[in-house]
Amino acid sequence: MTSKVTYKGGLRTSCEHLRSGDVFLTDAPIDNNGKGEAFSPTDTVATGLASCILTMMGMKAAGLEVDLAEATAEVTKHMSSDPRRISKIEIDLQLPKNVSEKHRKILVHTANTCPVHYSLHPDIEKIITFNWVR
């Protein structure tokens, strides 16, 4: 088993990673009858894509002897209705500028083939911008 999710009432859940004991909360968003005081479940999906991208890029970068420490991803999630679902995820990556063109191409390919990217429904538009500026 990977995790345990407990409904706390008031449209809030507590999500525990069983191996580490780490916990995070989710709330329904304000536009869907919630308090919006924590990540919504769909926020975690969009954020999970960015986390997966940076993790996979970090793995590949280590083999290339490229340091991606302090790279960041700004995530914007767009929802549609009927049915209510994630329609688009925009990820704006801020990456080190001292990465060679050859390594940049390898890292971009790695980002675009991460497991979460492949796991998301193909109808979800994914816009990933790579800014080599840090």
Residue 30, judged by CB atoms within 10 A of its CB (0-12, 13-18, 19+), counts as exposed
Cis amide linkage into residue 83, ω under 30° from 0: yes
The kind and range of the H/E element at 107 are: helix 101-111
End-to-end CA, the chain: 39
What global pTM score does this model have?
Answer: 0.95
Residuewise pLDDT in 10s, the chain (134 residues): 999 999 999 999 999 999 999 999 999 999 999 999 999 999 999 999 999 999 999 999 999 999 999 999 999 999 999 999 999 999 999 999 999 999 999 999 999 999 999 999 999 999 999 999 97
